[in-house]
Amino acid sequence: MTTAQNIPGLVIEFPESTAAEQTVLLQQEFGGSVHQVELHKLHVRMLAERLGIVPTVTAEAADMLSTSVGQSMRFASERGQLQRALLRIESMAEQLHENLRITHDNGHEDLTVEIGQAVALVDFVEFFCESYRCAPSTAEPPEPECKALETLDEALAAGAVV
C-alpha cells in the first residue's frame, strides 16, 4: 500500500512495503512525460538540513549526544542504587532506634545519649529520603544478608542477658 500527497504538478508517494519503507517517490508530469525520483530518508534528511528545516548534526554532535545518553543511563542506574541504599539505611536506623528505646524502657542501661543519637540519625535519614518515597522505585530495598533479631523483646524471650 502506498500513501500519496498531491501538490499541483507533483505527487509525493510514501511506499509502505518493507523493502521500500525508507524511501520517498517524487513524480512530476511535464510535457506529457512523467519524471520520477526516488529518495532515501538520508537524502531527505540532508535536504532538510541544507534548507534549514532541521539542525545539522555533525559527527562531533552525534558523538556528544551518544555520550550524554550513556551518562544519563548510568546516572539513572546510580540514582536507583542510591535510592535503594538510602531507604535500607532508613529502615535500619528506625530498627536501631526502636531496639535502643526498648532496652532503655526495660531499665537495662542508661542509653540516653545513644537514643538521642539514634533519633537524630532517623530524623536526618527521613528528611533525606522524603523525596524518594514518592518517586517510583525500580526495585525493593535489599534485605540484609544476615537476619538479625527484629527486636530486643525477641532476644529477651530467647533468654539473652543484656
| Span 126-154, pLDDT tens digits | 877 777 676 665 555 444 443 333 444 45
* Sequence-separated contacts (24+) of 117-121 with Cβ below 8 Å: 118/93, 121/93, 121/96, 121/97
The CA distance from 57 to 72, in Å, is: 20
* Residue at 67 is within a domain: no
Which residue, chain included where needed, has cell 539505611? 89
Co-location of 94 and 148 in the same domain: yes
Co-location of 109 and 49 in the same domain: no
Co-location of 118 and 86 in the same domain: yes
Task: Look up the domain containing 129 and give its range.
Answer: 81-156
The CA distance from 156 to 151, in Å, is: 9
Flag whether the pTM goes above 0.75.
no
* Residue at 70 is within a domain: no
The CA distance from 4 to 16, in Å, is: 11
| Span 69-108, pLDDT tens digits | 888 888 888 888 888 888 888 888 888 888 778 877 777 6
Co-location of 86 and 52 in the same domain: no
Phi-psi sector, 4: left (phi>0), alpha (psi -120 to 50), beta? beta
* Pair 113, 100: CB distance under 8 Å: no
Structural domain total, the chain: 2
Co-location of 54 and 118 in the same domain: no
| Span 19-52, pLDDT tens digits | 656 888 889 988 888 899 998 888 888 888 889 8
Confidence band for 122, pLDDT divided at 50, 70 and 90: confident
pLDDT at 18: 53
The CA distance from 104 to 82, in Å, is: 33
Co-location of 97 and 43 in the same domain: no
Co-location of 92 and 141 in the same domain: yes
